[in-house]
Amino acid sequence: MAQVALFAALMAVLGLIPKIDLPMGVPITAQSLGVMLAGVLLGPKRGFQAMALFLLAVAAGLPLLSGGRGGIGVFMAPSAGYLIGYAPAALIAGAIMRAVPQRSPGVIAVGAFVAALVGGLLALHLFGVLGLMLLAHLSLKQAVIATLAFVPGDLIKCVLCALVTHTVARGLPDWQFGGRRA
């Protein structure tokens, strides 16, 4: 339970980093890195729970999103698809990380990059595209083109996730990545 609360708090801290507003109504934030880390380090179940707890706090009105946003209204904005995708993206990243062999910190780091790429980038952007189509009334093509603005930064976040995971693997060799049982 403590790890779930800790990663929900990490998401809040990442929300303190200023956002970069884009014309489509979806800002660039550091919080997708928190989604990646939650899935990779906590696993599918606890990563999902951490993101659900964070989103519950946001829905309750706490200004935890980048730019001090919060409240139920953020789930009606063009960025709502990305927000709703936080929990499933962490779940997917955690499930992939659980399948990674834990032979060495290098192997774990490569697995973390792949898990962050599939869960924290592809799955999260799938939800984002759906949100843009529904709430911003963009066509599929327009929504996909709009979400491409995030890909370079999110690739950097995937690398950061792998580096953090490599550091944890070296410093805490008994850590159970992907929420594995010992």
**13 — pLDDT class (breaks 50, 70, 90):** very high
Would you state the pLDDT for residue 84? 97
**85-119 pLDDT tens trace:** 999 999 999 999 999 888 899 999 999 999 999 99
Mean pLDDT for the chain overall: 93
Which two tokens mark 17? 């980093």
pLDDT surpasses 90 at 25: no
SS3 20: strand
Spatial contact of 57 and 8, defined as CB atoms under 8 Å apart? yes
Q: What is the DSSP letter of 98?
A: H
How far apart, in Å, are the Cα atoms of 6 and each of 1, 11, 151? 9, 9, 27
- pTM, to two decimals: 0.92
Euclidean distance between CA atoms 169 and 73, whole angstroms? 39
Q: What is the pLDDT of residue 176?
A: 83
pLDDT band at 181 (very low <50, low <70, confident <90, very high): low
C-alpha to C-alpha distance for 38 and 112, rounded to whole angstroms: 11
180 pLDDT band (50/70/90 cuts)?
low
Please identify which residue in the block is written with the tokens 């309750």: 60
Structural domains of the chain ordered from first start: 2-179 (1.10.1760.20)
pLDDT at 177: 82
Q: Under a CB-based contact definition with an 8 Å cutoff, are residues 65 and 58 in contact? A: yes
Cβ proximity of 97 and 43 under 8 Å? yes
Give the DSSP H or E segment for 153. helix 151-171
DSSP state of 178: G
Q: Does residue 178 carry a pLDDT above 70?
A: yes
| Contact criterion met (CB below 8 Å) for 175 and 164 | no
Name residues whose C-beta falls within 8 Å of residue 102's C-beta, 6 or more positions apart in sequence: 108, 169, 177, 180
The share of the chain scoring above pLDDT 70, in percent, equals 98
- The mean pLDDT of 123-149, rounded to a whole number, is 95
